[in-house]
Structure 1
Amino acid sequence: MGERKGQNKYYPPDYDPKKGGLNKFRGTHALRERARKIHLGIIIIRFEMPYNIWCDGCKNHIGMGVRYNAEKTKVGMYYTTPIYKFRMKCHLCDNHFEIQTDPGNLDYVILSGARRQENRWDPLQNEQVVPETKEVQIRLLDSMYKLEHQAKDAKAAADAKPVLQKLVERNMDVWDDNYEANCRLRATFRKQKHEIKGQQELDRQLLAKSSLDIALLPEIAQDREMAALMKLQTKSAKEREAEQRLELLMKPALPSATATTFGGLKRQKVLNTHLQLQDLGIIRKEEPQINRATTITANQDGESTNVINSLSLVGDYGSSSSANSSPTQND
């Protein structure tokens, strides 16, 4: 395939091989737009974020591995290794930040526009095996320092020996009988698999009932407590409708009137009972049962009949005792 690259290039009729390649003949650079600032010593490259940072402009987190089009500039030398500076624009705001290489510490340094998210720690604090640095390797050439260094290593090995012995004994107790250990492990996995399968079936039934297509998270105690509180605080539509009707009935007809004019607490109790019976279906809605005045009369045969005289559309503005008085009987 390499020999085809030269054949696929177009050479115009006025091309002069003495002027060099096609890029020199056309007066362009091989990197095209990436070399638009080449006269300033700047080249556009694809830079990958070496660690997690926080942008100083929008205060957002930018993870390690995010790539940018960065302006690469050579700013110095560390012995024979060049030091480069990279300038790029945040993809979430208009802020620019600059990062520079640090060959001495094998790291990158943020110059401006951002700050590093600290995830570094001392390996010695975690009892990790740390390779010797160049300074220590050079000092090990001294016999006295090498003797002191070996004494420290022997002391560290003696301190770690009891811990390692306990770990070996525990491992031997667990894996003394391989068949029994394998049976316990498989039984644990089988139980977990059964629980996961049952939970997946419950989630599938719940999603089918709710007509949802989402991933359900495991239920925790906090979710159950919040659901119980929401259930206690909510009211049904029928209860809210009954409260609204009661509020409208208790509201005075005239602006100057008050709730006491309509009978006070006695009238409110009667209205509550009426609304409860109406919700249960005992009283039909089309029959008015409130503020109906009746008169009991007797006919010639001695049978009593109820004659409806009038239906009051406006509440009685008298006292509560007169509003709740018993019907009169005419002789």
Structure 2
Amino acid sequence: MGERKGTNHYYPPDYDPGKGGLNKFLGTHALRERARKIHLGILIIRFEMPYNIWCNGCGNHIGMGVRYNAEKKKVGMYYSTPVYQFRMKCHLCDNHFEIKTDPGNLDYIIVSGARRQENRWDPTQNGQVVPEEKATQKRLFDDAMFKLEHGKGDESVGKSVDYRSRSLIARRDELWQDDFSANSMLRSKFRAVKRAANASEIKDKVLLKKFGLDMKLVPEHESDVKLATLLSLKPSSSITERLKQTRADIINRPVLPNSSGVSVSKLKSLTNGKSLTNGRSLIECKSGLGLVRKKCSDAQAVSSPLRPDGQSDVAEPSSEVTSDVSTVQDSSPRKEECADEKVNVSLVSCLYNNDSSSSE
């Protein structure tokens, strides 16, 4: 009613009624800013989104009923009905999308910039009541026989779904006969689900904080638990590898308990692969006593003093093999001198005799 009041219109003193109305005299349009592109055939209107869409620019959801300032223009004709196209800007990004009318299907079509969220279905597939087409309605009005046949078809369809509808009604009455109990049961079930979800969320936060991760964890599955158990029980090496490692440790193990460098492989290298002969004695280093002869066995015990040069009076084999066998560790002043002594074949053979006698 405001446009009927004269106070809303200002007529300047030089106004000439012969030029037309006040808008023509001032050179403006009645729609003001909405008609700023009227010379291009574009009118600014307020457009309301006809259905839910997804913006292709930012990927956000735009719900049905959201309003935009859209540029409206005519792009064609459907028989005598004009086809309009609307261009608008997304309010969450700089993307523009275009939608046009579809008079043939009584719908809107997205031209560019967005995609439709599909919520359409065929009502005949889920038992909905579908209104008749105009041609069928006209035939029902004019043709009595077609009306009778159509009515019989509706009765047969009603009988086919009568049992299902009755069962649904009975189930509803059984479940919701006591509204308070049904509501309490549903709320207790929802509380249990919510408590489990909160516990899982706290557990995930602790795990992510422990390992310094920033990601979203998916729910744990039973198959994942079984796979993790199998991986934790899997041996680090195979049986063959363990046997090889054990054999290598036995070969490289020192022969003397107090020795740190003599092994079976080293002794074999000293004898060049030949079998050792039965020796008579074993030379051992004692603190403060120099080199002392130790008895190998009762039958082969021989007591003979050592010469000042460290050699035994007993005849030794002609072939002598030297080794880097280190002597027994002690705190005597002659420790370094004992380490420099030479071990001949009799020492090695006596060592093997001692091992064999102890095993027997």
TM-score, with structure 1 as normaliser: 0.53
Aligned ranges 1:320-331 → 2 under 5 Å: none
1:159 corresponds to which letter in structure 2? S
Task: Give the 3 Å change call, closer, same or farther, for CA 127–11 of structure 1 in structure 2.
Answer: same
Cα offset, 1:224, TM superposition: 1.7
Written as runs of structure 1 = structure 2, the 5 A alignment for 1:1-331 is 5-140=5-140, 141-142=142-143, 145-167=146-168, 184-186=178-180, 219-227=194-202
Structure 1: distance between partners of 2:204 and 2:31: 65
CA offsets 1:222-252 (integer angstroms, 9 cap, x no match) = 33245357669989xxxxxxxxxxxxxxxxx
Retained in 1: the 8 A contact 2:2–2:8?
A: no
- Contact 2:100–2:111, Cα closer than 8 Å, also in 1: yes
Tell me if structure 1 keeps the 8 A contact 2:175–2:182: no
C-alpha distance in 2 between matches for 1:72 and 1:230: 51
C-alpha distance in structure 2 between counterparts of 1:68 and 1:145, whole Å: 49
1:208 corresponds to:
none
How many residue pairs match? The answer is: 211
State the Cα distance separating 1:86 from its structure 2 match. Answer: 0.6
Identical aligned residues as a percent:
64
* 1:220 match: secondary structure: helix
Q: What code does the residue aligned with 2:179 have?
A: L
Bigger radius of gyration among the two: 2
1:80 and 1:134 map into 2 onto residues whose CA distance is: 20
Indicate how the Cα distance of structure 1 residues 5 and 158 shifts in structure 2: closer, same or farther if over 3 A, else same. same
Structure 1: gaps spanning 5 or more residues: 176-180, 200-216, 236-321, 323-331
What is the Cα deviation at residue 47 of structure 1? 0.8
Distance 1:173 1:56 in 2: 48
Q: Aligned to 1:72, what secondary structure does the other structure show? A: strand
Counterpart CA distance in 2 for 1:111 and 1:72 is: 14
**Could you tell me the TM-score, scaled by structure 2's length?**
0.49
Distance in 2, matches of 1:146 and 1:227, equals 67
2:76 alignment partner AA: G
Q: How far did residue 113 of structure 1 move?
A: 1.9
TM-superposed deviation, 1:38: 0.8
- Are residues 28 and 218 of structure 1, via their aligned partners in 2, closer, same or farther at CA, if it must alter by over 3 Å? farther
Question: CA distance change for structure 1 residues 76 and 142 in 2, over 3 Å: closer, same or farther?
Answer: farther
Aligned-pair distance for 1:145? Answer: 4.5
